[in-house]
Amino acid sequence: MTPLQSLAPQPAARENAVVVGGGIVGVCCALYLQREGYSVTLIDPAAAGDSTAKWSCGQMAVSEVIPLSKPGILKKIPGWLLDQKGPLALRPGALPGILPWFLRFLACARHSKIVEISEDMATLTHHVYEDYAPLLDACPDKTLMGQKPIIELFDTPAGLAHEEPHLELRKALGFKSEVLDRAAIADLEPALAGKFSHGLLFPDWRAVSDTEGFIAALTQSFIDQGGLRVRAQVKRLDEQAGRASGVTLTNGERYAADQVVIAAGTGSRQFFEQIGAQVPLAGIAGYQVLLPTPEVDVRHSVIYADGGFCFSPMTRGLQIGGTIEFASPNAQPNFKRADIILEKARKILPQLRLDNVEYGVGYRPFLPDTKPVIDRSSRLSNVFLAFGHGQLGLTLGATTGRLIADLVAGRPPAQDLNPFSAKRFAFFGDSA
Protein backbone atom coordinates (compact mmCIF):
# COMPACT_ATOMS: atom_id res chain seq x y z
CA MET A 1 0.00 0.00 0.00
CA THR A 2 1.33 3.41 -0.95
CA PRO A 3 1.71 6.32 1.51
CA LEU A 4 -1.25 8.12 -0.05
CA GLN A 5 -3.52 5.11 0.21
CA SER A 6 -2.44 4.21 3.73
CA LEU A 7 -3.82 7.52 5.05
CA ALA A 8 -7.20 7.06 3.43
CA PRO A 9 -10.30 5.19 4.54
CA GLN A 10 -10.79 1.97 2.56
CA PRO A 11 -14.07 0.72 1.12
CA ALA A 12 -15.21 -2.69 2.30
CA ALA A 13 -14.40 -4.18 -1.10
CA ARG A 14 -11.99 -2.81 -3.67
CA GLU A 15 -14.33 -1.26 -6.20
CA ASN A 16 -13.51 -0.06 -9.70
CA ALA A 17 -13.82 3.59 -10.65
CA VAL A 18 -13.43 5.02 -14.14
CA VAL A 19 -12.60 8.69 -14.64
CA VAL A 20 -13.38 10.03 -18.12
CA GLY A 21 -10.97 12.88 -18.85
CA GLY A 22 -7.27 13.01 -18.05
CA GLY A 23 -6.75 16.75 -17.70
CA ILE A 24 -6.01 18.43 -14.40
CA VAL A 25 -9.52 17.94 -12.96
CA GLY A 26 -9.68 14.31 -14.09
CA VAL A 27 -6.29 13.30 -12.73
CA CYS A 28 -7.01 14.99 -9.39
CA CYS A 29 -10.32 13.12 -9.16
CA ALA A 30 -8.44 9.89 -9.92
CA LEU A 31 -5.84 10.57 -7.24
CA TYR A 32 -8.43 11.35 -4.59
CA LEU A 33 -10.38 8.20 -5.48
CA GLN A 34 -7.14 6.26 -5.01
CA ARG A 35 -6.94 7.75 -1.53
CA GLU A 36 -10.33 6.19 -0.89
CA GLY A 37 -8.98 2.80 -1.94
CA TYR A 38 -10.67 2.50 -5.30
CA SER A 39 -9.00 0.78 -8.24
CA VAL A 40 -9.04 3.63 -10.74
CA THR A 41 -8.83 3.74 -14.53
CA LEU A 42 -8.25 7.14 -16.12
CA ILE A 43 -9.25 7.44 -19.79
CA ASP A 44 -8.27 10.24 -22.18
CA PRO A 45 -7.32 10.30 -25.87
CA ALA A 46 -4.43 12.75 -25.41
CA ALA A 47 -1.00 12.28 -23.87
CA ALA A 48 -0.64 13.09 -20.18
CA GLY A 49 -0.24 16.84 -19.79
CA ASP A 50 -1.54 17.65 -23.27
CA SER A 51 -4.81 19.17 -22.14
CA THR A 52 -6.61 22.51 -21.90
CA ALA A 53 -4.72 23.48 -18.75
CA LYS A 54 -1.40 23.05 -20.60
CA TRP A 55 -2.30 26.17 -22.55
CA SER A 56 -3.13 28.30 -19.54
CA CYS A 57 -1.23 30.87 -17.49
CA GLY A 58 -0.45 28.24 -14.87
CA GLN A 59 -1.71 30.29 -11.93
CA MET A 60 -3.34 29.23 -8.70
CA ALA A 61 -5.71 32.18 -8.98
CA VAL A 62 -7.32 31.75 -5.58
CA SER A 63 -9.02 35.16 -5.51
CA GLU A 64 -10.17 35.08 -9.14
CA VAL A 65 -13.69 34.41 -7.90
CA ILE A 66 -15.46 37.33 -9.57
CA PRO A 67 -17.30 36.13 -12.70
CA LEU A 68 -16.60 37.36 -16.21
CA SER A 69 -20.06 38.92 -16.29
CA LYS A 70 -18.96 42.16 -14.66
CA PRO A 71 -21.10 45.33 -14.81
CA GLY A 72 -21.08 47.01 -18.22
CA ILE A 73 -20.35 43.79 -20.09
CA LEU A 74 -23.32 44.32 -22.47
CA LYS A 75 -21.82 47.56 -23.76
CA LYS A 76 -18.61 45.75 -24.69
CA ILE A 77 -20.14 43.15 -27.01
CA PRO A 78 -20.22 45.43 -30.11
CA GLY A 79 -16.54 46.15 -29.53
CA TRP A 80 -15.76 42.44 -29.36
CA LEU A 81 -17.45 41.99 -32.73
CA LEU A 82 -15.58 44.88 -34.32
CA ASP A 83 -12.13 44.57 -32.73
CA GLN A 84 -10.69 41.13 -33.37
CA LYS A 85 -7.40 42.27 -31.82
CA GLY A 86 -8.87 42.91 -28.38
CA PRO A 87 -8.22 40.68 -25.34
CA LEU A 88 -11.68 39.16 -25.72
CA ALA A 89 -13.10 38.62 -29.19
CA LEU A 90 -16.33 37.26 -30.59
CA ARG A 91 -16.36 35.83 -34.09
CA PRO A 92 -19.37 37.34 -35.87
CA GLY A 93 -20.46 33.97 -37.23
CA ALA A 94 -20.61 32.51 -33.74
CA LEU A 95 -23.15 34.99 -32.39
CA PRO A 96 -26.40 33.21 -33.42
CA GLY A 97 -25.30 29.87 -31.96
CA ILE A 98 -23.94 31.30 -28.73
CA LEU A 99 -26.75 33.82 -28.15
CA PRO A 100 -28.71 31.64 -25.67
CA TRP A 101 -25.50 31.18 -23.65
CA PHE A 102 -24.88 34.94 -23.73
CA LEU A 103 -28.36 35.70 -22.43
CA ARG A 104 -27.71 33.49 -19.43
CA PHE A 105 -24.28 35.07 -19.08
CA LEU A 106 -25.73 38.59 -19.05
CA ALA A 107 -28.26 37.56 -16.42
CA CYS A 108 -25.29 37.10 -14.07
CA ALA A 109 -24.11 40.71 -14.50
CA ARG A 110 -26.24 42.12 -11.67
CA HIS A 111 -24.26 43.24 -8.64
CA SER A 112 -26.13 40.93 -6.28
CA LYS A 113 -25.48 37.96 -8.57
CA ILE A 114 -21.79 38.83 -8.88
CA VAL A 115 -21.45 38.91 -5.09
CA GLU A 116 -23.31 35.60 -4.78
CA ILE A 117 -21.12 33.88 -7.37
CA SER A 118 -17.94 35.27 -5.80
CA GLU A 119 -18.98 34.01 -2.37
CA ASP A 120 -19.77 30.57 -3.80
CA MET A 121 -16.43 30.33 -5.60
CA ALA A 122 -14.49 31.47 -2.53
CA THR A 123 -15.81 28.45 -0.61
CA LEU A 124 -13.75 26.37 -3.06
CA THR A 125 -10.66 28.49 -3.69
CA HIS A 126 -9.86 28.96 0.01
CA HIS A 127 -8.91 25.26 0.09
CA VAL A 128 -6.69 25.07 -3.01
CA TYR A 129 -3.31 24.62 -1.34
CA GLU A 130 -4.41 22.24 1.40
CA ASP A 131 -6.14 20.09 -1.21
CA TYR A 132 -3.10 19.98 -3.50
CA ALA A 133 -0.68 19.29 -0.63
CA PRO A 134 -1.18 15.50 -0.29
CA LEU A 135 -1.14 15.03 -4.06
CA LEU A 136 2.10 16.99 -4.51
CA ASP A 137 3.73 15.34 -1.49
CA ALA A 138 3.51 12.03 -3.35
CA CYS A 139 5.38 13.44 -6.38
CA PRO A 140 9.20 13.16 -6.42
CA ASP A 141 9.61 16.66 -7.88
CA LYS A 142 9.06 19.12 -5.04
CA THR A 143 9.29 22.18 -7.30
CA LEU A 144 6.05 21.62 -9.21
CA MET A 145 4.33 24.42 -7.33
CA GLY A 146 6.20 27.72 -7.34
CA GLN A 147 6.39 29.95 -4.28
CA LYS A 148 6.40 33.39 -5.88
CA PRO A 149 3.28 35.59 -5.86
CA ILE A 150 1.59 36.92 -8.99
CA ILE A 151 1.83 40.48 -10.32
CA GLU A 152 -0.81 42.42 -12.27
CA LEU A 153 0.20 45.56 -14.18
CA PHE A 154 -1.80 48.49 -15.60
CA ASP A 155 -0.97 51.21 -18.10
CA THR A 156 -2.68 54.01 -16.17
CA PRO A 157 -4.03 54.85 -12.70
CA ALA A 158 -7.53 54.51 -14.20
CA GLY A 159 -6.96 50.81 -14.82
CA LEU A 160 -6.00 50.26 -11.22
CA ALA A 161 -8.91 52.38 -9.99
CA HIS A 162 -11.30 50.29 -12.08
CA GLU A 163 -10.25 47.23 -10.08
CA GLU A 164 -10.95 48.80 -6.69
CA PRO A 165 -14.53 47.49 -6.27
CA HIS A 166 -13.32 43.98 -7.15
CA LEU A 167 -10.41 44.27 -4.75
CA GLU A 168 -12.79 45.32 -1.99
CA LEU A 169 -14.98 42.30 -2.66
CA ARG A 170 -11.97 40.02 -2.65
CA LYS A 171 -10.77 41.57 0.61
CA ALA A 172 -14.20 41.01 2.18
CA LEU A 173 -13.89 37.35 1.19
CA GLY A 174 -10.52 37.02 2.91
CA PHE A 175 -8.09 37.46 -0.01
CA LYS A 176 -5.06 39.74 -0.09
CA SER A 177 -3.56 42.23 -2.51
CA GLU A 178 -0.92 44.97 -2.37
CA VAL A 179 -0.55 48.07 -4.54
CA LEU A 180 2.76 48.37 -6.39
CA ASP A 181 4.41 51.59 -7.56
CA ARG A 182 7.10 52.06 -10.21
CA ALA A 183 9.97 51.29 -7.84
CA ALA A 184 8.35 48.14 -6.45
CA ILE A 185 7.60 46.85 -9.94
CA ALA A 186 11.19 47.45 -11.03
CA ASP A 187 12.50 45.67 -7.94
CA LEU A 188 10.31 42.62 -8.51
CA GLU A 189 10.73 42.52 -12.30
CA PRO A 190 13.92 44.22 -13.54
CA ALA A 191 13.03 43.34 -17.15
CA LEU A 192 9.98 45.61 -16.82
CA ALA A 193 11.73 48.45 -14.99
CA GLY A 194 10.51 51.85 -16.17
CA LYS A 195 7.69 50.39 -18.25
CA PHE A 196 4.94 50.36 -15.63
CA SER A 197 4.07 52.55 -12.65
CA HIS A 198 0.82 50.93 -11.48
CA GLY A 199 0.36 47.38 -10.33
CA LEU A 200 -0.92 44.86 -7.84
CA LEU A 201 0.71 41.99 -6.02
CA PHE A 202 -1.36 38.93 -5.12
CA PRO A 203 0.56 37.33 -2.24
CA ASP A 204 -1.83 34.38 -1.94
CA TRP A 205 -1.53 33.35 -5.61
CA ARG A 206 1.12 30.97 -6.92
CA ALA A 207 2.17 29.65 -10.33
CA VAL A 208 3.17 26.12 -11.30
CA SER A 209 6.63 25.56 -12.74
CA ASP A 210 5.20 24.15 -15.96
CA THR A 211 1.57 23.50 -16.83
CA GLU A 212 2.25 20.44 -18.98
CA GLY A 213 4.80 19.03 -16.54
CA PHE A 214 2.51 19.63 -13.55
CA ILE A 215 -0.29 17.51 -15.01
CA ALA A 216 2.16 14.88 -16.30
CA ALA A 217 3.79 14.56 -12.87
CA LEU A 218 0.44 14.07 -11.12
CA THR A 219 -0.50 11.51 -13.77
CA GLN A 220 2.74 9.60 -13.22
CA SER A 221 2.10 9.65 -9.48
CA PHE A 222 -1.33 8.15 -10.15
CA ILE A 223 0.25 5.39 -12.26
CA ASP A 224 3.01 4.75 -9.71
CA GLN A 225 0.33 4.13 -7.11
CA GLY A 226 -1.27 1.42 -9.23
CA GLY A 227 -3.60 3.49 -11.39
CA LEU A 228 -4.22 2.66 -15.04
CA ARG A 229 -4.25 5.42 -17.68
CA VAL A 230 -5.76 4.40 -21.00
CA ARG A 231 -5.12 6.62 -24.00
CA ALA A 232 -8.40 6.26 -25.85
CA GLN A 233 -11.75 7.91 -26.52
CA VAL A 234 -14.84 6.88 -24.59
CA LYS A 235 -17.79 6.28 -26.93
CA ARG A 236 -20.55 5.81 -24.37
CA LEU A 237 -21.42 4.89 -20.83
CA ASP A 238 -22.74 1.37 -20.37
CA GLU A 239 -25.97 1.21 -18.38
CA GLN A 240 -27.80 -1.33 -16.28
CA ALA A 241 -30.80 -0.76 -14.00
CA GLY A 242 -30.36 3.00 -13.64
CA ARG A 243 -26.63 2.82 -13.05
CA ALA A 244 -23.50 2.93 -15.18
CA SER A 245 -21.87 -0.48 -15.41
CA GLY A 246 -18.79 0.79 -17.21
CA VAL A 247 -17.66 2.54 -20.38
CA THR A 248 -17.17 1.45 -23.96
CA LEU A 249 -14.35 2.93 -26.03
CA THR A 250 -14.52 3.85 -29.71
CA ASN A 251 -12.42 0.76 -30.48
CA GLY A 252 -15.00 -1.49 -28.80
CA GLU A 253 -13.05 -2.16 -25.60
CA ARG A 254 -15.04 -2.03 -22.41
CA TYR A 255 -14.01 -1.15 -18.86
CA ALA A 256 -16.33 -2.19 -16.06
CA ALA A 257 -16.93 0.32 -13.28
CA ASP A 258 -18.75 0.56 -9.97
CA GLN A 259 -18.38 4.36 -10.09
CA VAL A 260 -17.85 6.74 -13.04
CA VAL A 261 -16.65 10.35 -13.02
CA ILE A 262 -17.17 12.62 -16.04
CA ALA A 263 -14.34 15.18 -15.97
CA ALA A 264 -13.67 15.74 -19.66
CA GLY A 265 -14.01 19.51 -19.89
CA THR A 266 -15.83 20.52 -23.07
CA GLY A 267 -15.75 16.84 -24.07
CA SER A 268 -18.21 16.14 -21.27
CA ARG A 269 -21.00 17.40 -23.55
CA GLN A 270 -21.15 14.11 -25.45
CA PHE A 271 -22.47 12.39 -22.31
CA PHE A 272 -25.14 14.94 -21.41
CA GLU A 273 -28.02 12.92 -22.88
CA GLN A 274 -26.99 9.79 -21.01
CA ILE A 275 -26.49 11.53 -17.69
CA GLY A 276 -29.74 13.49 -18.05
CA ALA A 277 -28.17 16.93 -18.17
CA GLN A 278 -28.95 19.93 -20.36
CA VAL A 279 -26.18 22.16 -19.15
CA PRO A 280 -25.17 25.25 -21.19
CA LEU A 281 -21.47 24.40 -21.44
CA ALA A 282 -19.45 26.42 -23.95
CA GLY A 283 -15.85 25.99 -25.06
CA ILE A 284 -14.11 29.37 -25.12
CA ALA A 285 -10.75 29.41 -26.88
CA GLY A 286 -7.70 30.66 -24.98
CA TYR A 287 -4.57 31.22 -27.09
CA GLN A 288 -0.96 30.96 -25.94
CA VAL A 289 2.51 31.39 -27.41
CA LEU A 290 5.51 29.48 -26.05
CA LEU A 291 9.05 30.87 -26.49
CA PRO A 292 11.51 28.08 -25.56
CA THR A 293 14.52 30.44 -25.41
CA PRO A 294 13.14 33.94 -24.76
CA GLU A 295 16.47 35.43 -23.58
CA VAL A 296 14.48 37.58 -21.14
CA ASP A 297 14.37 36.90 -17.42
CA VAL A 298 10.76 37.19 -16.29
CA ARG A 299 10.75 36.21 -12.62
CA HIS A 300 7.05 36.11 -11.78
CA SER A 301 3.87 35.23 -13.56
CA VAL A 302 2.80 38.71 -14.70
CA ILE A 303 -0.69 39.69 -15.83
CA TYR A 304 -0.78 42.67 -18.19
CA ALA A 305 -4.34 43.81 -17.56
CA ASP A 306 -4.71 46.34 -20.38
CA GLY A 307 -3.12 43.99 -22.88
CA GLY A 308 -5.34 41.09 -21.84
CA PHE A 309 -2.53 38.56 -21.51
CA CYS A 310 0.01 37.12 -19.12
CA PHE A 311 3.75 36.38 -19.09
CA SER A 312 4.21 32.93 -17.53
CA PRO A 313 7.82 31.77 -17.02
CA MET A 314 7.98 27.97 -17.12
CA THR A 315 10.64 25.32 -17.23
CA ARG A 316 9.91 24.75 -20.92
CA GLY A 317 10.14 28.46 -21.77
CA LEU A 318 8.19 31.68 -21.50
CA GLN A 319 4.51 31.20 -22.19
CA ILE A 320 2.53 34.28 -23.22
CA GLY A 321 -1.22 34.17 -23.46
CA GLY A 322 -4.62 34.48 -21.94
CA THR A 323 -6.58 36.21 -24.70
CA ILE A 324 -9.89 34.45 -25.25
CA GLU A 325 -12.31 34.08 -28.15
CA PHE A 326 -15.92 33.04 -28.53
CA ALA A 327 -16.34 30.92 -31.65
CA SER A 328 -18.66 28.24 -33.02
CA PRO A 329 -18.30 24.77 -31.39
CA ASN A 330 -16.53 23.21 -34.39
CA ALA A 331 -14.58 26.27 -35.54
CA GLN A 332 -10.91 25.86 -36.40
CA PRO A 333 -8.39 27.67 -34.15
CA ASN A 334 -7.52 31.17 -35.26
CA PHE A 335 -3.82 31.37 -34.46
CA LYS A 336 -3.77 34.97 -35.63
CA ARG A 337 -4.98 35.56 -32.07
CA ALA A 338 -1.65 34.16 -30.88
CA ASP A 339 0.22 36.45 -33.26
CA ILE A 340 -1.64 39.40 -31.74
CA ILE A 341 -0.46 38.34 -28.27
CA LEU A 342 3.12 38.06 -29.47
CA GLU A 343 2.98 41.46 -31.17
CA LYS A 344 1.77 43.09 -27.95
CA ALA A 345 4.38 41.27 -25.87
CA ARG A 346 7.21 42.44 -28.11
CA LYS A 347 6.14 46.06 -27.67
CA ILE A 348 6.82 45.62 -23.96
CA LEU A 349 9.86 43.36 -24.31
CA PRO A 350 11.33 43.95 -27.80
CA GLN A 351 14.36 41.81 -26.98
CA LEU A 352 12.29 38.61 -26.85
CA ARG A 353 13.88 35.83 -28.90
CA LEU A 354 11.40 34.06 -31.17
CA ASP A 355 13.33 30.91 -32.11
CA ASN A 356 11.16 27.76 -32.32
CA VAL A 357 8.02 29.59 -31.28
CA GLU A 358 5.08 27.27 -30.55
CA TYR A 359 1.40 28.18 -30.64
CA GLY A 360 -1.31 26.50 -28.60
CA VAL A 361 -4.99 26.80 -27.81
CA GLY A 362 -7.07 25.44 -24.97
CA TYR A 363 -10.88 25.38 -25.00
CA ARG A 364 -11.96 26.49 -21.53
CA PRO A 365 -15.20 24.80 -20.46
CA PHE A 366 -17.33 27.78 -19.38
CA LEU A 367 -20.80 27.90 -17.90
CA PRO A 368 -22.68 31.22 -18.01
CA ASP A 369 -22.18 31.90 -14.29
CA THR A 370 -18.50 30.82 -14.52
CA LYS A 371 -19.03 28.27 -11.74
CA PRO A 372 -18.24 24.58 -12.30
CA VAL A 373 -20.59 21.62 -12.01
CA ILE A 374 -19.63 19.35 -9.11
CA ASP A 375 -22.56 16.98 -8.75
CA ARG A 376 -24.08 13.54 -9.17
CA SER A 377 -26.06 12.56 -12.28
CA SER A 378 -29.81 12.54 -11.67
CA ARG A 379 -30.26 9.73 -14.21
CA LEU A 380 -27.38 7.36 -13.43
CA SER A 381 -26.89 7.31 -9.67
CA ASN A 382 -23.24 6.21 -9.71
CA VAL A 383 -22.06 8.81 -12.26
CA PHE A 384 -20.46 11.97 -10.90
CA LEU A 385 -19.92 15.27 -12.70
CA ALA A 386 -16.83 17.48 -12.55
CA PHE A 387 -16.64 19.97 -15.42
CA GLY A 388 -17.19 23.61 -16.38
CA HIS A 389 -14.27 25.14 -14.46
CA GLY A 390 -13.65 27.85 -17.07
CA GLN A 391 -10.28 29.50 -16.42
CA LEU A 392 -9.92 27.90 -12.97
CA GLY A 393 -9.40 24.26 -13.89
CA LEU A 394 -5.81 24.25 -12.66
CA THR A 395 -6.71 26.22 -9.55
CA LEU A 396 -9.63 24.00 -8.56
CA GLY A 397 -8.39 20.60 -9.75
CA ALA A 398 -7.49 19.18 -6.34
CA THR A 399 -10.44 20.72 -4.52
CA THR A 400 -12.82 19.25 -7.09
CA GLY A 401 -11.09 15.88 -6.73
CA ARG A 402 -11.59 15.92 -2.96
CA LEU A 403 -15.26 16.85 -3.25
CA ILE A 404 -15.95 14.22 -5.90
CA ALA A 405 -14.29 11.60 -3.68
CA ASP A 406 -16.60 12.67 -0.85
CA LEU A 407 -19.64 12.22 -3.09
CA VAL A 408 -18.46 8.84 -4.39
CA ALA A 409 -17.75 7.62 -0.85
CA GLY A 410 -21.18 8.73 0.32
CA ARG A 411 -19.88 11.36 2.74
CA PRO A 412 -21.41 14.82 3.11
CA PRO A 413 -18.86 17.16 1.48
CA ALA A 414 -17.22 19.77 3.69
CA GLN A 415 -18.45 22.54 1.34
CA ASP A 416 -22.03 23.14 0.27
CA LEU A 417 -22.29 21.88 -3.31
CA ASN A 418 -25.77 23.24 -4.06
CA PRO A 419 -24.26 26.28 -5.85
CA PHE A 420 -22.44 23.87 -8.18
CA SER A 421 -25.40 21.64 -9.00
CA ALA A 422 -26.14 20.82 -12.63
CA LYS A 423 -29.78 21.56 -11.82
CA ARG A 424 -29.15 25.26 -11.23
CA PHE A 425 -29.90 26.08 -14.86
CA ALA A 426 -33.49 24.79 -14.63
CA PHE A 427 -34.59 28.42 -14.17
CA PHE A 428 -33.73 28.98 -17.82
CA GLY A 429 -35.69 25.95 -18.98
CA ASP A 430 -32.82 23.47 -18.67
CA SER A 431 -32.87 20.38 -16.50
CA ALA A 432 -30.36 17.90 -15.19
pLDDT of residue 73: 64
> 232-268 pLDDT, tens per residue?
999 999 999 999 999 999 999 999 999 999 999 999 9
160 lies in the same domain as 300: yes
23 lies in the same domain as 136: yes
pLDDT of residue 14: 82
Residue 342 lies in a domain: yes
Nearest residue to 184 (alpha-carbon basis) of 174, 172, 194: 194
Residue 257 lies in a domain: yes
Q: Report the share of the chain in percent with pLDDT over 70.
A: 92
Q: From CA 101, how far away is CA 118, in angstroms rounded?
A: 20
Please, which residues have CB within 8 angstroms of residue 345's CB and are 6 or more apart in sequence? 289, 307, 309, 311, 320, 352
* Residue 384, domain extent: 14-65+110-146+206-279+370-432
User: Pick the residue with more confidence: 300 or 12?
Assistant: 300
- Contact at 8 Å (CB) between 178 and 203? yes
270 lies in the same domain as 258: yes
177 lies in the same domain as 86: yes
73 lies in the same domain as 99: yes
- Contact at 8 Å (CB) between 353 and 331? no
* Reported confidence tier of residue 86, pLDDT bands at 50, 70, 90: low
Number of structural domains found in the chain: 2
CB count within 10 Å of CB 12 equals 6
The string of DSSP codes covering 261-279 is: EE--GGGGGGGHHHHT---
* Reported confidence tier of residue 307, pLDDT bands at 50, 70, 90: confident
Q: Is the pLDDT of residue 313 over 70?
A: yes
> 315-351 pLDDT, tens per residue?
999 999 977 788 777 778 888 888 989 999 999 999 9
Q: Is the pLDDT of residue 94 over 90?
A: no
pLDDT of residue 327: 77
- Contact at 8 Å (CB) between 261 and 247? no
Average pLDDT over residues 351-360: 95
Domain boundary among 366, 385, 410: 366
Q: DSSP class of residue 320?
A: E
Q: DSSP class of residue 425?
A: G
105 lies in the same domain as 163: yes
The pTM of this model reads: 0.93
> 202-225 pLDDT, tens per residue?
999 999 999 999 999 999 999 999
336 lies in the same domain as 286: yes
Q: From CA 359, how far away is CA 227, in angstroms rounded?
A: 32
Residue 163 lies in a domain: yes
